[in-house]
């Protein structure tokens, strides 16, 4: 049920139980979780996070993929569509392990996720919820063609987190891909 996507350097695929060690290590890193979780995750929380990603596919028909580096076979993060109950809109989100930062993987994988989302989902706009201090993710959003919009608060586990809503419309995305082809 979970499709597999391929980019030049990455494979986007369903999480498997074999990903737990790598995902737990990624989510235990305070530098990785600084803008996305109140604290680094325990191994049990990482397991629940993977299960939640898989469950999202079952409940919504779309979700996030495990990101695998083709050259090494290593699982290096998660990228995809996020839309839990109460979310402002269908989000494209990315979380990569620190060893994969600065390689363009977030942009490469998120571009594939955006393409998949616009080709399969009846939405006119995709968003990315980015912490106002997360300049690295803001740069990814700009490379994806997203523009910064309103600031809001996301309520997660009973706590409000400030985020800027970055977005790209279907029309903007179509113009971008037409420009890349021509």
Neighbours of 140 (CB within 10 A): 24
16 DSSP 8-state letter: -
Q: For 151-172, write each residue's pLDDT tens digit.
A: 999 887 778 889 999 999 999 9
Return the bridge partners of 48, or none: none
How high is the pLDDT of residue 157?
73
- Report phi then psi at 18, rounded to 5: -70, -15
Least confident range of 99-103, 111-115, 151-155, 168-172: 151-155
Under 8 Å CB-to-CB from 161, ≥6 apart: which residues? 131, 153, 154, 155
Q: How does the average pLDDT of the chain come out, rounded?
A: 95
Looking at per-residue confidence, does 47 or 38 come out higher?
Answer: 47
CA 92 and chain centroid, separation: 5
Asked whether residue 150 carries a pLDDT value surpassing 80, the answer given is yes
How high is the pLDDT of residue 148?
98
Over residues 95-107, mean pLDDT:
97
Please give the model's pTM, rounded to 2 decimal places. Answer: 0.95
How high is the pLDDT of residue 182?
63
Share of the chain above pLDDT 70, in %: 99
Neighbours of 34 (CB within 10 A): 12
Domains of the chain by start residue, with CATH:
5-181 (3.40.630.30)
Confidence class for position 75, pLDDT limits 50, 70, 90? very high
């Amino acid at each position: 049920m979970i499709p597999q996507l391929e980019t030049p350097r990455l494979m986007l695929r369903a999480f498997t139980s074999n990903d737990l060690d790598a995902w737990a290590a990624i989510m235990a890193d305070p530098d990785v979780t600084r803008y996305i979780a109140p604290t680094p995750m325990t191994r049990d929380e990482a397991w629940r996070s993977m299960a939640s990603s898989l469950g999202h596919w079952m409940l919504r028909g779309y979700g996030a993929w495990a990101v695998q580096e083709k050259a090494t076979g290593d699982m290096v993060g998660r990228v995809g569509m996020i839309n839990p109950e109460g979310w402002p809109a269908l989000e494209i989100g990315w979380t990569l392990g620190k060893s994969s930062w600065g390689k363009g993987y977030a942009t490469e994988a998120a571009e594939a996720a955006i393409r998949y989302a616009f080709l399969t989902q009846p939405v006119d706009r995709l968003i990315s919820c980015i912490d106002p201090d997360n300049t690295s993710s803001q740069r990814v959003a700009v490379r994806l063609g997203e523009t910064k919009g309103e600031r809001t608060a996301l309520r997660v586990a009973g706590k409000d987190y400030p985020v800027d809503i970055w977005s790209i419309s279907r029309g903007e995305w179509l113009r971008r891909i037409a420009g890349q082809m021509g």
